[in-house]
Amino acid sequence: MQRMLILGVALLATLAAGTARAQVATTDLVPAAPVFIHPNGIGANGANITPDNPAALAWGKPSRVAAGVIKGTIKLPGLPNADYSGNFLGARAVGETFGVAIEQQKIDDDSIGNKGTLDKSNDGQLSINFGKRFAIGFGIGKTSQSANATEMSRTELGGSLRLGEVWYVGVAGYQDKLTQTGTTEVKRNATLVGIALRTEGTVTWYAAAEQIKLNDFPFTGGPGSGIKDKRLSVQMQAGWLLVGLSSTKVAVISSGTGTPPDVKHTVVDLGIVPMSGLAVSARVQSTKIDDPTGTPPKADIDTTSLALTWLF
């Protein structure tokens, strides 16, 4: 029962917070990091190599290869912590016209008596740049969870427009298809919009405002239910030093009569990132869930990671 409660909270984090990736209008300054909220939920994890909007990949120079490690804990009131760990890797190549990216992330359960792989995600994207002003992109991904014989596939399509030298706007949509042994395939859709500022020079700035509307799977909510992520991100790189902060507020749209949970996700980034060569970056993520009608009513999910990236 205790283990079911822990995994139930993890599942809530997925359904409430949707996708944890960012970069709807253009790519951010972080070379690689886990974009991840929880283990063993129905979600799409990654390594910050493939953006939410595959068209944003067109602005994602420099090219790179990356790998990293993850450690995290789910904290529930009155229950032992549930620990997890994992690793991620990916590669991105961006030219004048085409961009391609692939990534993989794997999460393992480290809790006593429950060791094993919880979640494995793979993503791939292609972008096409038209005159360095407009780009389109296409992506596919798959997340599998052996513990509950569940597999989710994703199809992504998006566009991104560069306005002047520093402003970008992007829109995208995707569809998730969920299958589980012995059950019928179910689907959900999402729409993404974003605007971003990204400068170049000795001091580089990235700032973005993004919204992701994600419908529920049919079995997780009634008609019209889902979530709406509103995310604000600011990053600054001065010389080789990179610092960043991102905050996501989640509105749970419910067709029921209960009080929806309150979910907040915060990300802090710090890195040593040259124009080319070896970059080192660390990320700390915190997800706080307050669900007055839930059991348990609160949960904290904390994740730290370290990544090595070769930029070229």
Compare 117 and 79 and report the one with higher pLDDT: 79
The tokens describing 1, both together, are 């029962």
Average pLDDT over every residue of 135-161: 87
Average pLDDT over residues 95-114: 84
The answer to whether residue 112 scores a pLDDT higher than 60 is no
- Which of the four pLDDT bands, split at 50, 70 and 90, describes residue 18? very low
What pLDDT, on a 0 to 100 scale, did the predictor assign at position 109?
76
State the pTM of this model. Answer: 0.85
Structural domains counted in the chain: 1
Percentage of residues in the chain having pLDDT higher than 70: 77
Q: Looking at the predicted structure, is the pLDDT value of residue 224 above 70?
A: no
If pLDDT is split at 50, 70 and 90, which confidence band does 176 have?
confident
pLDDT band at 31 (very low <50, low <70, confident <90, very high): very high
Domain that holds residue 247: 2-311
Please give the C-alpha separations between residue 203 and each of 164, 236, 239, in angstroms, as whole numbers: 19, 7, 7
pLDDT value of position 144: 79
Cβ neighbors of 113 (< 8 A, separation 6 or more) are: none
The pLDDT of 113-136, averaged and rounded, is 85
- Which CATH number belongs to the domain containing residue 255 in this structure? 2.40.160.40
Region of 207 please: left (phi>0), alpha (psi -120 to 50) or beta.
Answer: beta
Question: Does 294 score more than 90 pLDDT?
Answer: no
What was the pLDDT predicted at 120?
Answer: 83
Q: Tell which wins on pLDDT, 296 or 84.
A: 84
**Residue that is written with structure tokens 């296409």 in the block:** 138
Name residues whose C-beta falls within 8 Å of residue 95's C-beta, 6 or more positions apart in sequence: none
